[in-house]
Amino acid sequence: TQLLEQSPQFLSIQEGENLTVYCNSSSVFSSLQWYRQEPGEGPVLLVTVVTGGEVKKLKRLTFQFGDARKDSSLHITAAQPGDTGLYLCAGTYNNNDMRFGAGTRLTVKP
């Protein structure tokens, strides 16, 4: 059972388009992480957000943590084929229990 809901589940766009994916929960997190996973490999950490309302930027990726620390979004500007992958959000509770959403599978077509 996933405690975090990610949407959309699948997203297919053309190179150069912008996109936003969402991560929502009814629980308050002590921190939230975004990961990107390629087929057959482990998730790779992109960012950790801790403070409600926090915004972090990583090149063309912008991550936002909701004010109430129950939701987050990932926005990608001018998507490229290399951005293709499974984007996972993970919420941490009580500093030692991390649970994942089901992920958003992004395909960027050249």
Partner 1 sequence: DAGVTQSPTHLIKTRGQQVTLRCSPKSGHDTVSWYQQALGQGPQFIFQYYEEEERQRGNFPDRFSGHQFPNYSSELNVNALLLGDSALYLCASSPTGFTEAFFGQGTRLTVV
The answer to whether the beta carbons of residues 2 and 91 sit under 8 Å apart is: no
| Closer residue to partner 1, CB minimum distance, 42 or 82 | 42
Q: For binding to partner 1 (CB under 8 A), which residues are involved?
A: 1-2, 6, 30-31, 33, 35, 40-45, 48, 50, 88, 90, 92, 95-103
Distance of closest approach, residue 78 Cβ to partner 1, in angstroms: 27
Name the residue nearer to partner 1 (CB basis): 58 or 78.
58
Decide whether 14 or 95 has the Cβ nearer to partner 1.
Answer: 95
Instruction: Name the minimum Å distance from CB 82 to partner 1.
Output: 19
Q: Which two three-digit tokens encode residue 24?
A: 């929502």
Buried b (16+ CB within 10 A) or exposed e, 11-47: bebeeeeebebbbebeeebebbbbbbeeeeeebeebb
- Supply 55's token pair: 């915004």
How far apart CA 81 and CA 61 sit, in angstroms, is 14
CB of 42 or CB of 110, closer to partner 1: 42
